[in-house]
Amino acid sequence: MCPHRNCFPHSVTLAVAVAVLCGLDGPRCAAGDGERRPNILFIFSDDHAAHAMSCYGSRINRTPNLDRIATGGMLFRNCFCTNSVCGPSRAVVLTGKHSHLNGFFRNGDRFNGSQPTFPKMLQKAGYQTAMIGKWHLQSNPTGFDVWKILIGLGTYYNPVLIENGKHVQHHGYATDLLADLTLDFLKKDRDPNKPFLLMYHQKAPHREFDPSLKHLNLYDDVTIPEPENLFDDYKGRGTAAHVQQMEVVRDLTPRDLKLVPPKELTPEQLKKWNAAYGPKNDAFRAAHLTGAALAHWKYQRFIKDYLRCVASVDENVGRVLDYLDESGLAKNTVVIYSSDQGFFLGDHGWFDKRFMYEESYRMPLLIRWPGVVQAGSSSNLFVSNLDFAETFLEIAGLPVPHDMQGQSLLPLLAGRKPADWRTSLYYHYYEYPAVHMVHKHDGVRTERYKLIHFYELGEWEMYDLQKDPHEMRSVFAEPEYVSVARGLQTELTRLRKLYLVPTDRVSEPTGRPDGKIQSAPAR
């Protein structure tokens, strides 16, 4: 990292980046060539966890079309968000700045569209810019020649879109319709004399997980494997994990599940449940879904609809990729796939996101750039949605404003590991009290450790990710980790200063770890 605490390093200058990338492609120059500036297709889904993608090793589903992007480009294994909730993540992507600087802390805030964003900069530089799909920032998009956005979260069936200020009713399934509009832009609305930035943003697989009609019966004949900590009791963690309202068994609604849980099982159903979930127990013998049986049933209802929504996303990404190939646009189009954050898929017994725990903190990120990025490559370096704006600007051959806080990924795409690349990440979640009741917290993650500060509760959690990758037991209180905890507190303070976090937003970490975790309320 830069030794000056008020600057945000960009590991290579534009000239160096162009030289590196051109060197990879022989006679064809990538960024910076006015005649052949690359097109940028930025595909963003909502709540798509990396562990529901086969290129990331999913054990519950397959995503063949998303895998095409990975096999044709680079897969980032350590991409993380700065604030795991929908609107704030999108504001970070647009601005290259943390929530406290772009002014969008929580869903329901209104994005200040007058501030600098990367689409505005690309538009000014001659790119045709388009935004299609989920926006979720309250204010209207700025910096786009074409914009067709869902209202708020949008609806899965027969959505209304705002199209350059006009409300337009559509009929059909949103995931299909948004791909249709994306293809319409590429086929009809695109100016062939300009490079384009096309932001194709799906609402799926966001709650309430409504599948397309064609996928209603997908997975009917299979039992989706459960996470090993579906029945987590949250021992060894502080108050926040105990008082959240995002448990699969307790907090999914009949609307989420599309059916009220059955109170009685027929003998044949009872036989199937026993075969699927082990020996008979009191819950099954009583022929009522309670306890573990209810948890199994709700998990299967939730996860199958979630994965059906993912299947539609994957299918429609495939349609768009096919057109890029057929039209010849693929040769000079950078394709990026990501999601605004991760998602709990029954992990810790939860759905939703918000926590700094790995499943909601980690984002998928795939980037394909033919002739520039080595096909089938991967990176283990720490990257973030804070880096997206800077990367898009440098792909287009534009300078990165000094006040953006991320780092362009161009050197990583070129297969380089800059000596000054970050070794820690800062996170900050603000949305409390609110839906799901996850307490405010910030934290730092390094390669091996994670420190989380629930500052309004006055509680710390620390995880040794090497020994405890599922974050089942905080080691903040353990004597052998005192020096590690001190070091992480120091790093957290440094990152707060580096990113200009207002001191009134957090309590500064002072003193040594006290060896105690506040007792949690009884469950």
Residue 319 to residue 325: CA distance in whole angstroms: 10
Looking at the structure, tell me whether residues 278 and 177 fall in a common domain: no
Is residue 517 domain-resident?
Answer: no
Integer angstrom CA distances of residue 101 from 105, 263, 355, 382, 506: 9, 51, 21, 21, 15
- Can you give the pLDDT of all 523 residues of the chain as single tens digits? 443 333 433 333 333 344 444 443 332 344 444 458 999 999 999 999 999 999 999 999 999 999 999 999 999 999 999 999 999 999 999 999 999 999 999 999 999 999 999 999 999 999 999 999 999 999 999 999 999 999 999 999 999 999 999 999 999 999 999 999 999 999 999 999 999 999 999 999 999 999 999 999 999 999 999 999 999 999 999 999 999 999 999 999 999 999 876 666 677 776 776 666 554 443 343 335 667 888 898 999 999 999 999 999 999 999 999 999 999 999 999 999 999 999 999 999 999 999 999 999 999 999 999 999 999 999 999 999 999 999 999 999 999 999 999 999 999 999 999 999 999 999 999 999 999 999 999 999 999 999 999 999 999 999 999 999 999 999 999 999 999 999 999 999 999 999 999 987 665 444 334 433 333 333 4
Looking at the structure, tell me whether residues 287 and 306 fall in a common domain: no
- Residue 317 and residue 339 in contact, taking contact as beta carbons nearer than 8 Å: no
Looking at the structure, tell me whether residues 291 and 320 fall in a common domain: no
Looking at the structure, tell me whether residues 183 and 319 fall in a common domain: yes
Residue 194 to residue 14: CA distance in whole angstroms: 21
Is residue 89 domain-resident?
Answer: yes
- Residue 72 and residue 331 in contact, taking contact as beta carbons nearer than 8 Å: no
CA proximity to 205, closest of 134, 139, 136: 134
CA proximity to 308, closest of 203, 217, 224: 217
- Residue 292 and residue 283 in contact, taking contact as beta carbons nearer than 8 Å: yes
Integer angstrom CA distances of residue 180 from 199, 200, 244: 14, 11, 38
Looking at the structure, tell me whether residues 440 and 348 fall in a common domain: no
Residue 381 to residue 439: CA distance in whole angstroms: 29
User: pLDDT value at position 54?
Assistant: 98
Q: CB neighbours (10 Å) of residue 315?
A: 18
Domain CATH code at residue 492: 3.30.1120.10
Range of the domain at 500: 427-505
CA proximity to 418, closest of 31, 20, 5, 25: 20
Looking at the structure, tell me whether residues 270 and 352 fall in a common domain: no
Looking at the structure, tell me whether residues 290 and 323 fall in a common domain: no
Distance of alpha carbon 478 from its chain centroid, rounded?
32
Is residue 69 domain-resident?
Answer: yes
CA end-to-end span of the chain:
44
Integer angstrom CA distances of residue 132 from 28, 42, 328: 31, 10, 22
Residue 453 to residue 479: CA distance in whole angstroms: 18
Number of domains the chain contains: 3
Domain boundary among 278, 298, 318: 298
Looking at the structure, tell me whether residues 138 and 200 fall in a common domain: yes
Looking at the structure, tell me whether residues 277 and 347 fall in a common domain: no
Domain CATH code at residue 96: 3.40.720.10
Is residue 177 domain-resident?
Answer: yes
Looking at the structure, tell me whether residues 207 and 186 fall in a common domain: yes
User: pLDDT value at position 142?
Assistant: 98
Helix, strand, or coil here: 149? strand
Is residue 360 domain-resident?
Answer: yes
User: pLDDT value at position 259?
Assistant: 82
Looking at the structure, tell me whether residues 258 and 319 fall in a common domain: no
User: pLDDT value at position 289?
Assistant: 64
User: pLDDT value at position 12?
Assistant: 37
Domain boundary among 263, 278, 298: 298
Is residue 523 domain-resident?
Answer: no
Is residue 379 domain-resident?
Answer: no
Is residue 17 domain-resident?
Answer: no
CA proximity to 224, closest of 46, 56, 62: 62
Looking at the structure, tell me whether residues 169 and 245 fall in a common domain: no
